[in-house]
Structure 1
Amino acid sequence: MKNIFRIYKRDVKNVVSNWVALVVVIGLMILPALYAWFNIKSSWDPYGNTRGIAVALVNEDEGAEFRGKKINVGEELEKQLKSNKNIGWKFVDKKEAEKGVMYGKYYASINIPKDFSYKILSIVREKQQKPELIYSVNEKTNAVAPKITEKGVSSIQAQIGKTFVKTVNGIIFDLFNKFGIELEKEKPQLTKVKDLILEADSKVPEINKAIDEFYKGAITLEDFIKRLEKDMPILEETIKKSSEVAKDGEEFLTKGKEGIKNLSPYIKQDLIMSKDICDDVEILAGYAVDSISTNSVRTKEFLIKINNKYAKAASKIENINKVLESLYNISNNKVIYNMMNKLNTIKGRINNQINLVNSAIAAIDRGEKPSVDLLNNIKIGASDIKKALSYIIDNYDSEIIPNINKTADNLIVIADNTLKLLQYAQRDLPIAQDLMGKAYKGTEKGIEDIKLLKERMPGIEKSLHSLAEKLKKLDDDESVNEIIKLLKNDAKKESEFLANPVDIKVNRVFPIPNYGSAMTPFFTTLSLWVGALIMVSIISVEPLVLEEGKKIKPYEAYFGRYLTFLTIGIFQALIVTLGDIFILKVYAVNKLLFVLYALFISMVFSMTVYTLVSVFGNIGKALAVILLVLQISASGGTFPIQVTPPFFQHLNPFLPFTYAISGMREAVGGVLWNLLYYDAGILLIYFGVSIVVALLLKKKINALNKGFVEKFKHSGLVGH
């Protein structure tokens, strides 16, 4: 130990007493900090400064008209984007956009064609046509910019979808609303006519009895006519008013039928979106399974995303069922009822999945790792739900749409039948009245006419009784009230709800205020490895013999010179971390831990790199550089490791950067001590392995390298 400290003291004295050496050492201490600071500052808030990314927008949309209302989605979109500062939108003509993208003036362009609004409204026509946005991007100008512009296109697509649903639904629901209000106004008249028809129906047996009595000679003709004259005006007035109301009701219900049929595409669209959500959940669950063994924090992030997506799917399915329930109340359609049951089952499965996800999150919050079986069950559950939704979607056009249309058709069956029955009654009633007039001309002739009346009365009775029964059923089922309630809902609110049915409540776990602070763990860790590389490039790992000429043992030379490397590494870590905090104002939850962990990382990195060079010489320098390159790619410092190729994913657990960056993230975002202890423990293993390798191999490998180095010197490529 004495010689070890003597070597270290001599190094310190030589540095302090030689101003050139002092300048070099100070430069070694500062250079890694500059490397980290410039990188952190340059990436401080790249996604907050995307307004500098110029994207041209060409709006050629000529608009379209629907039910007298002018709609221009392109103009609406242009208004929205003029207030959008996330991207540098430039509103130009087609020629300028094409030239600008070609020469790099604009990173991308988006063209809204002339028929965009027309095609978007094809949803309400027999033949649907999907509108297109023409997106052009110059991928030569920058590797990242196209990804940012694609995000801009996605936001436009979402805005168009929202505007489309809101506009079209607004028109449909406005029609529903007006029809519902008119139908409610006519309801008292319908009720009055219903009462008249029921009263008339109750009089028919009495009329038939009178006809039978007269025909059999039980009453006189005079008494018979008096009875008929008393009841016939009721029949005449009832049939006249019923015909008028039934005709109006048929027109109302025909309008409602058209609106209900227009619901079908939106129900299917929500089913497809719910299926896509389950597809996303299945992928996220797979990520959660892959990450649970290495990073519980990442697993929790995946699980929270799964919960949010399931909540969105459950909301959509609940909204679909509300619409189906209203349709079922009107029609008692078994197919619609079965679909409601299937959707309720799927919703129950989703709720069970949410409970599983919550239990996994709770386990992570307790510091435990949820079982892989539990995470696999979440993945399998998502797949099962997706299959169930796929089955419904596959059969939707052939089974569900016809029954929704059938329900809409049934709305006007009562009106159609009522109108026909009343027309028959109107046709037969004058005959009856004419026959009564002829009865006065003579008994013999009157008997013949009464015989004809007796033949006609069953038709009148049947028509009137059938109508009365239908009206009784209508009253029992309260279908009119159900229809009015469904149609009178606020059109604007319903349209806005369907355009944006779910609000996302963001729960930021371990929030970091800016991108630069989030990248600090990576760049700080990287700078410390670079600092260690610079040290072995400038400072020799082999100390000179002591002044007394006493021979130095390999382990004494190893530890003695390492103390010098360690000292410089400590100052490198102090300068870079204190500069991060006080110069760049980097956010860190635990600033002291941030500095101390960086000191620990520097100790491990300097030992690792120093050992490689001390044992393997110049080959060790090459190995340290190779390790640097691999760790930049495979440590998960920039992109999530899950999005890298399999080679890097398999390499990730074996690299020092993985645990250095992870520990620094704990200090920056929020400390989970069990994760921090784990990361520090792995780094200590690297530190210990480095010492063991040096003690076991340094003497033997140095002897082998000596001849190799001498031979290399003779090549004339290096100095002697």
Structure 2
Amino acid sequence: MKASWNIFLNDLKNIGTNWVAAILIGGLILLPSLYAWFNIEASWDPYGQTDQIPIGIVNEDKGAIVREEEIHVGDELVDSLKENQSMDWQFVDRELAMDKLEYGDYFAVIIIPENFSERLGTVVSGNPEKANVEYYVNEKINAIAPKITQKGATVIVEQISSNFISTVNGIIFEVFNDLGIELEENLPDIERFEEYIFTLEENLPEIYELLNETITDADRAGEIIDQAQGLIPQVEDATTSGLQTIDDTTDFLQTAEDRLNEMAPKIDEELANIQRMVMETNEFVSNIDSTTIDLTEGNPLSETLPEQIDTMLKSIDTIEEALIQLQQQNDKNNESTDEQTEEQDSSNNQETIDQALNELENMEQSLRELQEQLSAMESFLTDKQAEVDETFAMIKDRTAKANERVDEFVKEYKETIEPTVKEEVSKAKETLANARDILVTIQSTIPEIKNMLNRTDENLSEGKDILDYVSGEFPYVQDKVNELADRIRTVQDDTDLNELIQLLQNDPEAERGFFAEPVVLNENKLFPIPNYGTGMTPFYTVLAIWVGGLLLISLLSTDIHHKENYTGRQIYFGRLFTFISIGFLQTIIVTVGNIFLLQVDISHLFWFILFGLLCSAVFIMIVYTLVSVFGDVGKALAIILLVLQIAGSGGTYPVVLLPKFFQVINPFLPFTYAIDLMREAVGGIVWERVVHDVIFLMIFGLLALIVGGFLKETINKQTDKLKNKSKESGIFH
């Protein structure tokens, strides 16, 4: 080991005393860091500059009319993109956009077709159609740019979909909310409707029975209307005849009233004569004394009294004649009218006249009896003087009663009979006038009644047809009512209407916001990486350390010039110390530069540097051993191993996304564990993973030491032959 240490110290001395070697070593120490720094800086925030990527936007949307409202979704999208700075949006026409895309001035072109709004508007129709957005990309320009522009196009589609969904669902939930409120307001009516349906279902048999009865009644009503229409002419004739009868009766009453007025003075005069003569007779009889009568010389009573009685009988006959004529007139009135009120009035008149005639008849009978008694008295005067006084007394009594009866009749006639007859005649005339007005009204109404009957007949015919139709459809209606009632019962069993109302009632704005972003991603970064450059730092740092090793084996020799005094193992370890020392300096510059020059956000600075030194030591061991043991072939192997590790270590893409070959070799590559170890220092340490990675790195380093320290001389014997043979070509050194 001392000999190896001397080789290492001699190398340091030579570097320090030879300024050209010092400059070259300095360049070798600095160059790997530049490789890392440039790549980390370039990838620091590649998606933060997407606003410099030109994308053409072509809006050909013509708008649409949806529910009597004009919409222009394309214009709204253009307005929103003008405020969006994620891309360099260029708003041009189709021809210019496609020319610039083909030439490479635009990375992509997005075309909004003319039917864009129309297609979106079909959501309210029964056959909605999806709206299309045309996307053109020039993938020849750059490998990553198409992915970025595609993401921009996807964002546009997502924005349109989100706004559209939120708008449509906002409208839907506004309708739901209004429906919920309306349902709540109409809940009593709905419940009543349910009761109506159940009641209707229960009463359907009775309704069907009533319907059949109604059809029967309609048939009977049609027959009645036909009969009524047949009676209309008879009614017209009856009203005409009734008017004529009333007019005739009115004329009879007027004639009767005129005759009554005409006879009234005569009757009054005759009544006065009768009253006067009865009074005179009564006075005369009263003044005669039966004792003074000389039967043999003739009785003065027999000479004057019969004459007066005859006169009174004639007056009574005259009054009776007048009353009989009035009675006949009244009978004619009865025959000419059939009104109940007029019959009652005429009946009253008849009774009054009959009463007067009875009275007159009684008076006449009394006078005739008096006359007979006078005759009897005259015949018996000579024989029955004794009875003269008695007869005379009876005559006096009868004349007195006759006088009283005449006075009573005159009073009754003046106060009752004559006013009653006149009043009843007047009432009869008024009643007939009213009856005539009624008949005139009836007569004027008959045409309207005829029209009404005709319309009723037509309507009844139509109604009968409808009733027949309803009767024919009743089984279907009955089935539907029963079905509806069963559905209501099912809904009542499965759904609480109050819960449905609560479900429908909502905040439309809140629902709109929900469907605009139904899922909110609450991102919780377990090991936060602030930017893409920080995430790529472990890969580019490890890559720079390996590249630093490749530079060393490319410029520095793995052998010494005076090796006669040293064994192969001593040379291997002695020059290995030199390579590892330079590799440490390379790693320190790279890691410290990442921290302070690029200001990469690293969680554990110390461990970042320390893990870098470990990776450097292992990598130097590997590449140094390959070249030390295999010579130029080892250089090629180190380069091949670098290529495989860049692709298969998972430094840029997850291993699961790599082809199967790289997934298989991934566990056998030093980069796999070195990059993972550096990521622990950058993002946050999980010590179990650190131990795992350190163990595998040390295994790779140990294998390199075993091959270089113990197999170098054996292997070199075979490789020296190959090396000498390659020198003979004059191409290899």
Query: For the superposition of Structure 1 and Structure 2, which TM-score range results when normalised by the shorter chain?
Result: 0.5 to 0.7
Matched, 1:507 2:524: yes
TM-score by length of 2: 0.59
CA distance in 2 between partners of 1:631 and 1:559 (Å): 26
Paired residue type of 1:538: L
1:675 is aligned to 2:692: no
> Do 1:512 and 1:669's aligned partners in 2 also have CA atoms closer than 8 Å?
yes
Q: 1:188 to 1:609 in 2, by over 3 A?
A: same
- Cα separation, partners in 2 of 1:467 and 1:554, compared to 1, 3 Å: closer
Q: Given that residues 121 and 168 in structure 1 are in contact (C-alpha distance below 8 angstroms), is that contact kept between their aligned partners in structure 2?
A: no
Which of 562, 567, 582 is the matching residue for 1:553?
567
Distance 2:637 2:490 in 1: 88
Q: CA deviation at 1:472?
A: 9.3
5+ long unaligned stretches in structure 2? 208-476
Residue type of the alignment partner of 1:668: V
Query: Aligned runs of 1:183-262 on 2, under 5 Å?
Result: 183-188=183-188
Q: Which amino acid aligns with 1:505?
A: N
- Among 607, 623, 635, the residue aligned to 2:621: 607
2:405 is matched with: none
Distance 1:493 1:16, change over 3 A: same
Residue-by-residue CA offset, 1:543-592 (whole Å, 9 max, x unaligned): xxx99985211001111111111110110010110000010001111000
Structure 1 residues 487 and 535, CA, compared in 2 at 3 Å: closer, same or farther? same
What is the rounded CA distance, in whole Å, between the counterparts of 1:465 and 1:707 in structure 2? 106
Task: Tell which deviates more after alignment, 465-474 or 529-538.
Answer: 465-474
Match of 1:115 in 2: 115
| Map of 2:511 onto structure 1 | 494
RMSD between aligned residues: 3.6
Q: Does 1:641 align with 2:655?
A: yes
> For residues 696 and 169 of structure 1, do their structure 2 counterparts lie closer, same or farther at Cα, with a shift above 3 Å needed?
same
Q: Quote how far apart the aligned CAs of 1:462 are.
A: 13
Q: Secondary structure at the match of 2:565?
A: coil
SS of the counterpart of 2:545? helix
1:702 has 2:710 as partner: no
Map 1:505-654 to 2 at 5 A: 505-542=522-559, 551-654=565-668
With structure 1 as the length reference, what TM-score do the two structures score? 0.60
Q: 1:63 to 1:18 in 2, by over 3 A?
A: same
Percent of counterpart pairs with the same letter? 47
| Distance (Å, rounded) in 2 between the aligned partners of 1:45 and 1:606 | 31
Rate the CA distance shift 1:2–1:131 in 2: closer, same or farther, 3 A: same
Letter in 2 for 1:80: S
Distance 1:495 1:7, change over 3 A: same
Name 2:10's counterpart in structure 1: 10
Would you say the 8 A contact 2:726–2:732 is kept in 1? no
Deviation at 1:537, TM superposition (A): 0.8
The equivalent residue for 2:435 is none
CA distance in 2 between counterparts of 1:43 and 1:462 reads 76
Letter of the 2:71 counterpart: I
One-letter amino acid of the structure 1 residue matched with residue 44 of structure 2: W
Within 2, Cα distance between the matches of 1:203 and 1:563? 110
Q: Whole-Å Cα distance in 2 between the matches of residues 188 and 548 of structure 1?
A: 112
Equivalent residue runs for 1:138-157 within 5 Å: 138-157=138-157
Q: What residue in structure 2 maps to residue 125 of structure 1?
A: 125
Change (3 A) 1:16 1:73: same
**C-alpha distance in structure 2 between counterparts of 1:467 and 1:614, whole Å:** 96
Distance 1:190 1:539, change over 3 A: closer
Contact 2:618 2:697 in 1 (8 A): yes
In the alignment, the residues of structure 2 paired with residue 46 and residue 463 of structure 1 have an alpha-carbon distance, to the nearest angstrom, of: 69
Listed one character per residue, the Cα deviations across residues 606-642 of structure 1 (whole Å, up to 9, x for unaligned) are 1110000000000100100100111100010011111
* Aligned with residue 669 of structure 2, among 655, 671, 678: 655
Shift of 1:117: 2.0
Would the aligned equivalents of 2:108 and 2:137 in 1 still touch at CA under 8 Å?
yes
Matches within 5 A, 1:65-464: 65-188=65-188
Distance apart, 1:195 and its partner CA: 8.2
Amino acid at match of 1:540: S
SS across alignment from 2:711: helix
Contact 1:635 1:652 in 2 (8 A): yes
Any conservation in 1 of the 2:573–2:709 contact (CA below 8 Å)? no
Residue 131 of structure 1 deviates from its aligned partner by 1.8
Tell me by how many angstroms 1:703 deviates: 2.5
Partner of 2:428: none
Larger radius of gyration: 2
C-alpha deviation, 1:124, in angstroms: 3.0
- Report the Cα distance in structure 2 between the residues aligned to 1:155 and 1:58, rounded to whole angstroms: 16
User: For the structure 1 residues 65 and 204, does the alpha-carbon distance in structure 2 shift closer, same or farther, using more than 3 Å as the test?
Assistant: closer
User: What SS does structure 2 have at the residue aligned with 1:62?
Assistant: coil
Give the conservation status (yes or no) of the 8 Å contact 1:4–1:556.
yes
Change (3 A) 1:94 1:703: same
In 2, Cα distance between equivalents of 1:610 and 1:477: 81
Judge which range, 194-203 or 668-677, deviates more.
194-203
* Alignment partner, residue 293 of structure 2: none
Q: Distance in 1 between matches of 2:701 and 2:13?
A: 27
Contact in 2 for aligned 1:61/1:72 (Cα 8 Å): yes
Whether the 8 Å contact between 1:73 and 1:163 is mirrored in structure 2 is no
Contact 1:113 1:132 in 2 (8 A): yes
